[in-house]
Amino acid sequence: MSKADASARIRAEVKQWLAGEWDPELPLAQWREVLADSGWGCPTWPVQWCGRGLPGALGRVVAEEMKRAVVPGPPEGVGMMLVAPVLLEHSSEELKQRYILPTVTGEITWCQLFSEPGAGSDLAGLQSRAVADRDHWRISGQKVWSTGAATADFGLLLARTDWDVSKHQGITAFVLPMRQPGVLVRPLRQMNGHSSFNEVFFDAAITHHVIGEPGGGWPVARAALAHERRLASFPPLPDASGRAWREAIAERTAVAEPHKWYPQRAGRPDLVIPQARALGRAGDRVVRQEIAKLIELSWSARWMAERAAAARAAGQRPGPEGSLGKLASSKIAKQAARVHTLIAGTAGLLAGPESLLDGTIAEIGISVPAISIAGGTDEIQRSIIAERILGLPREPDISVGIPFRDVRVG
Ligand SMILES: Cc1cc2nc3c(=O)[nH]c(=O)nc-3n(C[C@H](O)[C@H](O)[C@H](O)COP(=O)(O)OP(=O)(O)OC[C@H]3O[C@@H](n4cnc5c(N)ncnc54)[C@H](O)[C@@H]3O)c2cc1C
């Protein structure tokens, strides 16, 4: 069957299925159960795990039809985008059985517990400790920067289980229940006034669930980071009515709360030309030149993203091209912030009701630095590009081959 025929067939199937099943007055949880049973909510996932095993290109066709019919899908955020794909790739049948369906229906939410005060870029230097105790593990230590941890039900946790092997080999990945006495979450306040991140402290916190094998956490971490680098931003909500949508919009508003400032973090290139016009700066030669640079960067990044999407649609796993995209978004954000500053001048520093776009321009300036840090810093992306795309020599790491307890970290 040709690609066009396959797309047309899937499109017709989705339409017919929706005509028989979609009822906007269903409770959201019930609708998501139906969606999970049918596999249309996660069409590229395996059939036994809420999917239909379709290739990426047909998965996009399904998503288009769902969007056209204005139907709510599975929940957005770290559970669906990052944790579930990692569980599908690396966890046992038992863990999939326990966690995949409730993640797809939105019954449970997740956070990512990787970074520590002394282990961000050098993630493999992490020092949170997990000790086996009969049928469970006890966790002690601290994480930081944990987005959404204050509200999450479970965390995807990396902890060290063996200090006598080299640093990448002694790490284990766990599912950690967040609501237990041994877990303390303390929100942090950022310079832009929002509070997305948390410090998380573990004091003999308990988990029974290892992802993969003890000591096999590093491949799990790498898979999670590859998914994280292509984490999508939240698409705009439709103007829709009915019980399922009311509940989906309420859920999405809560999930997106820690991410409210993310559009500003990306520099708001969409506002640059309207602002230049509104403030009478569109004729300024320097401003025009800087806007042209921004457009040049944005278009190249879009083409690169399309190339990466085509590779995924052809069945390839997310690879180092994610680093190119990540680095490009941070260059675009910085250039957009620079142009906003050129256009607005000192007025761009003001927040509050009388400020430019209700303080949005000021928020851009103090939110953009985050994009060069989150999900791997610019410098780390450059190293990945150098080593894995350009084939340059690897960065020397004197800790390789040495038991972790003898390595200086932090
Ligand atoms: C918006 C946002 C959301 C986040 N959400 C989460 C989350 O939910 N869960 C989670 O676990 N973490 C999260 N993080 C943490 C993030 O992954 C780390 O901040 C990041 O990996 C950098 O680590 P670090 O902050 O410890 O900086 P460091 O690693 O200490 O780096 C400090 C500086 O040194 C540079 N540097 C370090 N090593 C090298 C090297 N080898 N070569 C060249 N330069 C180097 C870095 O580029 C950086 O400029 C989030 C961060 C942000 C900003």
Render pLDDT for 389-402 as a digit per residue (tens, 0 to 9): 999 999 888 888 89
Q: Which residues pair with 51 in a beta bridge?
A: 42
Distances (CA, A) of 162 to 52, 144, 215, 357, 405: 39, 22, 7, 53, 9
Q: How far apart are CA 175 and CA 161, in angstroms?
A: 14
Whether 160 and 128 have beta carbons less than 8 Å apart is answered as: yes
- Quote the tokens at residue 18: 């929706």
Pick from 32, 80, 338: which is nearest to 88 by CA? 80
Pick from 247, 237, 241: which is nearest to 28 by CA? 247
For the residues of 39-57, what is the DSSP string, one character each? T-SBTTS-GGGTB----HH
pLDDT at residue 180, rounded to an integer: 98
Pocket residue to mutate for ligand 1, from 121, 144, 174, most atoms within 8 A of Cβ: 121
- Quote the tokens at residue 118: 């002394």
pLDDT at residue 348, rounded to an integer: 95
| Confidence tier at 1 by pLDDT (50, 70, 90) | confident
Pick from 86, 145, 152, 154: which is nearest to 119 by CA? 145
**How much is the average pLDDT of 54-80?**
92
State whether the beta carbon of 341 lies less than 6 angstroms from ligand 1.
no
Lowest-confidence region among 174-178, 182-186, 393-397? 393-397
CB atoms under 10 Å from CB of 348, counted, come to 21
State whether the beta carbon of 114 lies less than 6 angstroms from ligand 1.
yes
Residue that the structure tokens 């450059």 belong to = 382
Asked if pLDDT for residue 410 goes beyond 80, the answer is no
| Confidence tier at 313 by pLDDT (50, 70, 90) | confident
pLDDT at residue 232, rounded to an integer: 57
Asked if pLDDT for residue 153 goes beyond 80, the answer is yes
pLDDT at residue 67, rounded to an integer: 92
- Quote the tokens at residue 82: 């990052």
Lowest-confidence region among 1-10, 189-198, 270-279? 1-10
Lowest-confidence region among 7-16, 136-145, 211-220, 349-358? 349-358
Asked if pLDDT for residue 214 goes beyond 60, the answer is yes
State whether the beta carbon of 330 lies less than 6 angstroms from ligand 1.
no
Determine the distance separating the centroid of ligand 1 and the alpha carbon of 143, expressed in angstroms. Answer: 12
State whether the beta carbon of 376 lies less than 6 angstroms from ligand 1.
yes
Asked if pLDDT for residue 78 goes beyond 80, the answer is yes
State whether the beta carbon of 112 lies less than 6 angstroms from ligand 1.
yes
pLDDT at residue 308, rounded to an integer: 81
Whether 127 and 409 have beta carbons less than 8 Å apart is answered as: yes
pLDDT at residue 318, rounded to an integer: 67
In terms of phi and psi (left: phi > 0; alpha: psi -120 to 50; beta: otherwise), the region of 281 is alpha
pLDDT at residue 77, rounded to an integer: 86
CB atoms under 10 Å from CB of 93, counted, come to 9
Which protein residue's CA is at the shortest distance from atom 44 of ligand 1? 379
pLDDT at residue 41, rounded to an integer: 95
pLDDT at residue 321, rounded to an integer: 78
Asked if pLDDT for residue 129 goes beyond 90, the answer is yes
Whether 297 and 332 have beta carbons less than 8 Å apart is answered as: yes
Ligand 1 atom closest to the CA of 143, numbered from 1 = 11
Q: What is the DSSP letter of 190?
A: -
Beta strands in 286-340 (DSSP E): none
Which residues, other chains included, contact 349 with Cβ-Cβ below 8 Å and sequence gap of 6+? 362, 365
Q: What does R_g of the chain's alpha carbons equal in angstroms?
A: 23
